[in-house]
Amino acid sequence: MTRLDGHFLKPGSIPADRLDPSIPLGGGALPDGTVTPAKLAENLLRKFVVVRWGTAQDGDPGEKTVSLHFRDYLDNPIPAAHVLRLTCDDRATLAVGEHGQALSGAESADLIAQTDATGRLDLVVRCSETATITLAAGATQGSPLLDATALLDVNFA
Amino acid sequence: MPIEDAVSPVQKVTMDEMAQEFADRFAILTFGTPGAETDDTIAVQIQLKNALMEDLAAKERIRLTCTAGAELSLVDGGNGVVLSGDGTEDMILETDETTGTFDLEVDYSGTGTVTVVGGATQGSGFVHCGESLDLTFA
């Protein structure tokens, strides 16, 4: 890149007088309200990690399995191993299935776990009662910026 | 026309340039002006703002803690929901989805300053809780 009066210009860039008139001039500033997640570079977009729950599947009696994935704000998968905390009410316990690993609290209602390198975590939820168990995720020590707004209700009949 | 007028310098995207929908992904916890103390109780409204510091109408889960000995709760009939810890110094709340507010009530029978601070918890999105609140009880 070439330094030009305090600004950076890629070689071969279009001179200002050949730009589309709709492109605003004046310091190159973007119009207010135009930056969307789609305009972020991939490595920046992936700093904002969103938790997505899959659908609960039946397992053994009193047992359900559910997968959790990481997505970015464009709903693309984030293939990364990240740490997060998972909680539910005391009537159920949580453990890690095939994908991911438990770091602490396995077989309890307060689990700290890590997704596998694809960003997937398989949870095994066990409950011996007829109940709806709400699962919540959240950030903890070692977590990235995490949007864990989505909860999941798992029904045990 | 100098060409540099059309060139966007590196590291110059500002908050104002964020699209509304994008700015609304980032919640900021703010406290309103506390009311007067009545029967050892002070009410104050929590309001979520977005990254542009505009009122944000959203449901967000926040953990509130305060000085030992004080009690946190929801104003009777107020906006928001208490998820756990009602009447304690460690409460998890949910803001009202249509306004982004929570009507907080702090009860303290002693005298002095009670500090209230928020934080992210299970089920939170991207929420910034850098602002704390000092309430003076006489």
According to the model, what pLDDT value does residue A56 have? 96
Mutation for B interface: A1, A7, A73, most B CBs within 10 A: A7
pLDDT tops 50 at residue B123: yes
Percent of chain B's residues with pLDDT above 70: 92
Question: Rounded to an integer, what distance in angstroms lies between the CA atom of residue B33 and that of residue B37?
Answer: 12
pLDDT tens, position by position, B54-93: 999 999 999 999 999 999 999 999 999 999 999 999 999 9
**B83 in contact with chain A, both atoms CB, cutoff 8 A:** no
Sign, Cα dihedral of B9, B13, B16, B17: positive
Average pLDDT on A9-34 reads: 63
**A73 in contact with chain B, both atoms CB, cutoff 8 A:** yes
Which residues make beta-bridge pairs with A121?
Answer: A68
Tell the residue number behind the tokens 């990481």, with chain if given: A70
According to the model, what pLDDT value does residue A4 have? 47
According to the model, what pLDDT value does residue A39 have? 87
φ/ψ region of B80 (left if φ > 0, alpha if ψ in -120 to 50, else beta) reads left
Following DSSP, what letter does each residue of A20-83 receive, concatenated? -TTS--STTPPPTT-B-GGGS-HHHHTTEEEEEE---EE-STTEEEEEEEEE-TTS-B-----E
Tell the residue number behind the tokens 């929420």, with chain if given: B127
According to the model, what pLDDT value does residue A20 have? 63
Tell the residue number behind the tokens 């000085």, with chain if given: B67
Reported confidence tier of residue A6, pLDDT bands at 50, 70, 90: very low
How long, in residues, is chain B? Answer: 138
Which residues make beta-bridge pairs with B98?
Answer: none
According to the model, what pLDDT value does residue A30 have? 72
A130/chain B closest Cα distance in angstroms: 22
Question: Rounded to an integer, what distance in angstroms lies between the CA atom of residue B128 and that of residue B27?
Answer: 6
According to the model, what pLDDT value does residue A26 have? 53
Q: Which residues of A touch B25 (CB under 8 A)?
A: 48, 73, 147
**Cβ-Cβ contacts under 8 Å for A14 (sequence gap 6 or more):** none
**B19 in contact with chain A, both atoms CB, cutoff 8 A:** yes
Q: H/E element holding B131? A: none
Please tell me the pTM assigned to this model.
Answer: 0.81
Q: Which residues of B touch A13 (CB under 8 A)?
A: 7
**A residues 100-139 lying closer than 8 A (beta carbon) to B:** 136-139
Average pLDDT on B25-38 reads: 96
pLDDT tops 70 at residue B25: yes
According to the model, what pLDDT value does residue A23 have? 57
Angle at A77 between CA A75 and CA A82, to 5 degrees: 120
pLDDT tens, position by position, A93-135: 999 999 999 999 999 999 999 999 999 999 999 999 999 999 9
pLDDT tops 70 at residue B95: yes
Question: Rounded to an integer, what distance in angstroms lies between the CA atom of residue B91 and that of residue B117?
Answer: 11
According to the model, what pLDDT value does residue A27 have? 54
According to the model, what pLDDT value does residue A19 have? 61
According to the model, what pLDDT value does residue B113 have? 98
pLDDT tens, position by position, A41-83: 888 899 999 999 999 999 899 999 999 999 999 999 999 999 9
Angle at B8 between CA B4 and CA B9, to 5 degrees: 90
B12/chain A closest Cα distance in angstroms: 8
Q: Are the C-beta atoms of residues A137 and A84 closer than 8 Å to each other?
A: yes
> Among B58, B71, B70, which Cα is nearest to B102's?
B58
According to the model, what pLDDT value does residue A28 have? 56
What are residue B9's phi and psi, to 5 degrees?
-65, 155
**A8 in contact with chain B, both atoms CB, cutoff 8 A:** yes
**B36 in contact with chain A, both atoms CB, cutoff 8 A:** no
Q: How many other C-beta atoms are found inside a 10 Å radius of the C-beta of residue B116?
A: 24
Q: Which residues of B touch A30 (CB under 8 A)?
A: 8, 13, 17
Question: Rounded to an integer, what distance in angstroms lies between the CA atom of residue A110 and that of residue B3?
Answer: 58
Q: How many other C-beta atoms are found inside a 10 Å radius of the C-beta of residue A20?
A: 6
pLDDT tops 80 at residue B130: yes
According to the model, what pLDDT value does residue B15 have? 83
According to the model, what pLDDT value does residue A130 have? 96
The DSSP bridge pattern shows strands A57-58 and A7-9 to be unpaired
